[in-house]
Structure 1
Amino acid sequence: MIYVGGVRFPDENNSSSSQGSSLLLDVMSHPEIILASDSFKNLEERNISFVERDSESSQKDRYVYIFQREYAVVNPAFVDFVGTDESTTCVGLVIRNRRSGFTSIAHMDSPKVVDLGINQMLSLLLEDDVDAELDVHMVGGYEDVDIKNGDYTEPEGHSFPLCCKLVETLQKRRENFHIKTMFILGHNTKLDAQANTCPIFNGCLVNTSTGSVSPASFNRTSRCPDEIVRRVRVSASFEDSSWNGKLIDTYDTKTDRFIIAPCRWTMRLIRIVWQLNQLPDEEILTNCSTSPSAEGPDFIDNERRIWDYLLKYPEWSKTFPRRQPRVFERTVNGQWSKC
């Protein structure tokens, strides 16, 4: 069930039940959501970058970062901030238990992962509190096609179908979801210098103590730990049937560790990667992005780093010896260390 401004949406006295695109557009046009979007738009984007610290110093804040198709549930006793970025047609979904402060965040990239993905997100969030009131925030998913006119029954593009699925799934579930932020689609769209639509913000950061959400971007130092291997797993997951419809689990809530479960990549993927690596930059954007005109400046470099890793280690067992996960613990200075 969805609530907006503390009131069930649609109104319980309203006999008509909105579904799909109609429900999404109705929620987005609610005065509370418009006001929240305007406020979010005026926030200053936080740029998260970690600096090297000596072993005797301590980093004040403890972060967890998630990549595309990953999710994490964090305990505010262990984690001060959790976030994600690099969203264009993807959506950063945040669900927070008001009572415990436990916060679940996912980087949703397809309608196909929404149903099982939300199940995963809620598994620990409601473990001892099945009737909790849950605050929800969505950031990302700009207007990659014109959705103002035409037939909404079969929406095109990537952002709109994903946002429809997210809202419809939350509405159908028994839990109480209080929509606080929907900085998506038209609320999160601007024009670049070439008059292409693109996102205003690509990421978000959650303060786990207060539940406040702000726009954020991360750089290579803060997208950690195990950046490249985690990026590789996203590519490999499309060939692994065990991950069909699921988000990728990387962070262990109870121990405050990253546990990168082993994954396999095939020689078919290696051949595809070799071919892609021969392409010029503009063709990489066209072939590898759902939003070629809206990607960040490091998109191509990140793709090539993934491919270089796969070409260097074509056998997945070199990355995961004896099929064991890669485990990282938080150090005294706030960084991550491989166990």
Structure 2
Amino acid sequence: MIFVGGLPFSSNSSSSSSAPSSQSQPMNLLMALMEHPILVSASHSFKSIQERRVSASMDSDLTMSSNNPKYVYLFQREYATVDPALVHYVGTDEATTCVGLVIRNRENGMTSVAHMDSPKFVDIGIIQMLSLVVDHNSHADLDVHLVGGFEDVSPNHAKGICGPEGNERMDGYSFPLCTKIVETLQKRQENFHVQTLCVLGHNTKTDSQGNAYPIFSGFLVESSTGSLIPASFDRNSQCPDEIVRRLRVSASYEDPSWHGKLLDTYDTKTDRFIIAPCSWTICLVQIALSLQNLSDSEILSTCSTSPSAEGPDFVDNERRLWNYLIKHPDWKKTFPMRQPRVFERTADGGWKRADSQHLVKDIGYES
């Protein structure tokens, strides 16, 4: 159930009740939350914070907890739960029509973050996020933040390797995703205290031509305090195993073991990245071959849910992903014996590749 300002939230007083109830109820809930004075004020406060650019070494403003701060970075459709005793920050970026969701246990500080890209992953995704945040019998108070998504217009996109599956939506991509998230939170038994709702209209700016853009596409959460900071990450800080993790987003659509699930990335108890295997077919490689000669503008219009709002690295990231697929058409070479790719924390807070074959028994992973 959703709480705002310490009180249970209900959208019964919403004025937009003329639509059929089965369709209007989730929409009314979202719009009523968007208009709540406490959450409007929280959005204004969040937007007043200067966005931080995170580099591999972390800037001095973000080293409040340690000279070598430990952080966990998430790509699209990934999630991770961090223990504040082991990790200082967890964050994500590159969210245009996607939404970053934070769920944090007030009592013990356990913090789960997900980069949601489609309504179809919300139900199971939230179950995954909660698995290490609350006990099955716990009624803990959970703080929730949503950042990302904007008032987008859905163009006629091809999905394939580039973007999420699903039918075209006249109401865009951000709105159905936000609606599904708040609907799912409201239906569950846990106590979700929404603290930040910087999405849709609260996260939209326009240029002189009237084109809409997200104000923020990413954030950091400080695990010890739960404070939220708008953030973006350079490529060197999007680690470990950047290109393989990007590839898994596209490949997982072909892999039935990932249907409806967020992608596993990080092991909470050992503070290691354990990147679960994901298979891809020759069809994905053929798509990469067909796309590699597209122009930059064609890549944006074909592969993005928000072509005018993407960051400057979007096209290059797509090309690097395709090049990897073309050079590594057999997924078994990336995940030998279908074992995970394991990365351990270094003394300076970074990551190094570990020998997964010697760690399989230790991490309890089964193929």
TM over 0.5: yes
Q: How far apart in 1 are the matches of 2:341 and 2:300?
A: 31
Residue 2 of structure 2 is aligned to residue 2 of structure 1: yes
Q: Is the 8 A contact 1:251 1:257 kept in 2?
A: yes
**Given the alignment, which residue of 331, 335, 349 partners 1:316?**
331
Q: How far apart in 2 are the matches of 1:189 and 1:10?
A: 25
CA apart distance, 1:2: 0.4
Encode CA deviations 1:152-196: one digit per residue, 9 max, x unaligned. Answer: xx8610000000000111000000000000000000000134321
Encode CA deviations 1:91-141: one digit per residue, 9 max, x unaligned. Answer: 000000000000000000000000000000001111376211000000000
Q: How far apart in 2 are the matches of 1:13 and 1:142?
A: 25
CA apart distance, 1:322: 1.9
Residue in structure 1 matched with residue 123 of structure 2 by the alignment? 115
Unpaired stretches in structure 2, ≥5 consecutive residues = 59-65, 155-168, 355-367
Residue 201 of structure 2 is aligned to residue 186 of structure 1: yes
Change (3 A) 1:123 1:130: same
Q: How far apart in 2 are the matches of 1:262 and 1:70?
A: 13
* Secondary structure class of the residue paired with 1:137: strand
Residue in structure 1 matched with residue 76 of structure 2 by the alignment? 68
Q: How far apart in 2 are the matches of 1:271 and 1:27?
A: 44
Q: How far apart in 1 are the matches of 2:13 and 2:320?
A: 55
Residue in structure 2 matched with residue 144 of structure 1 by the alignment? 152
Aligned pairs for 1:298-337 within 5 A: 298-337=313-352
Q: Is the 8 A contact 1:59 1:334 kept in 2?
A: no
Residue 237 of structure 2 is aligned to residue 218 of structure 1: no
Residue in structure 2 matched with residue 97 of structure 1 by the alignment? 105
Q: How far apart in 2 are the matches of 1:128 and 1:73?
A: 16
Q: How far apart in 1 are the matches of 2:349 and 2:322?
A: 29
Code of the residue aligned with 2:151 in structure 1: it is E
Change (3 A) 1:155 1:115: farther
Percent identity between matched residues is 64
Encode CA deviations 1:257-312: one digit per residue, 9 max, x unaligned. Answer: 00011111110000001101111111110110000000000000000011111111
Residue in structure 1 matched with residue 217 of structure 2 by the alignment? 202
CA apart distance, 1:241: 1.4
Code of the residue aligned with 2:68 in structure 1: it is K
**Given the alignment, which residue of 154, 169, 182 partners 1:167?**
182
CA apart distance, 1:10: 1.1
**Given the alignment, which residue of 256, 266, 270 partners 1:255?**
270
Root-mean-square deviation (CA, aligned residues, Å) is 1.9
Encode CA deviations 1:193-246: one digit per residue, 9 max, x unaligned. Answer: 432100000001100000001110001111000000000111101111111111
Return the TM-score normalized by structure 2: 0.86
Residue 38 of structure 2 is aligned to residue 32 of structure 1: yes
Q: How far apart in 2 are the matches of 1:103 and 1:93?
A: 10
Code of the residue aligned with 1:21 in structure 2: it is M
* Secondary structure class of the residue paired with 1:293: helix
Q: Is the 8 A contact 2:277 2:341 kept in 1?
A: yes
Residue in structure 2 matched with residue 46 of structure 1 by the alignment? 52
Residue in structure 1 matched with residue 256 of structure 2 by the alignment? 241
Residue in structure 2 matched with residue 270 of structure 1 by the alignment? 285
Code of the residue aligned with 1:42 in structure 2: it is S
Return the TM-score normalized by structure 1: 0.92
Code of the residue aligned with 1:329 in structure 2: it is E
Q: How far apart in 2 are the matches of 1:214 and 1:31?
A: 21
**Given the alignment, which residue of 133, 138, 141 partners 2:141?**
133
Change (3 A) 1:45 1:267: same
Unpaired stretches in structure 1, ≥5 consecutive residues = 53-57, 147-153
Which range is displaced more, 68-77 or 185-194?
185-194
Q: Is the 8 A contact 2:11 2:28 kept in 1?
A: no
Residue in structure 2 matched with residue 151 of structure 1 by the alignment? none
* Secondary structure class of the residue paired with 2:198: strand
Q: How far apart in 2 are the matches of 1:333 and 1:2?
A: 39
* Secondary structure class of the residue paired with 2:236: coil
Code of the residue aligned with 1:279 in structure 2: it is L
Q: Is the 8 A contact 1:155 1:161 kept in 2?
A: no
Aligned pairs for 1:292-303 within 5 A: 292-303=307-318
Code of the residue aligned with 1:23 in structure 2: it is L
* Secondary structure class of the residue paired with 2:305: coil
Residue in structure 1 matched with residue 61 of structure 2 by the alignment? none
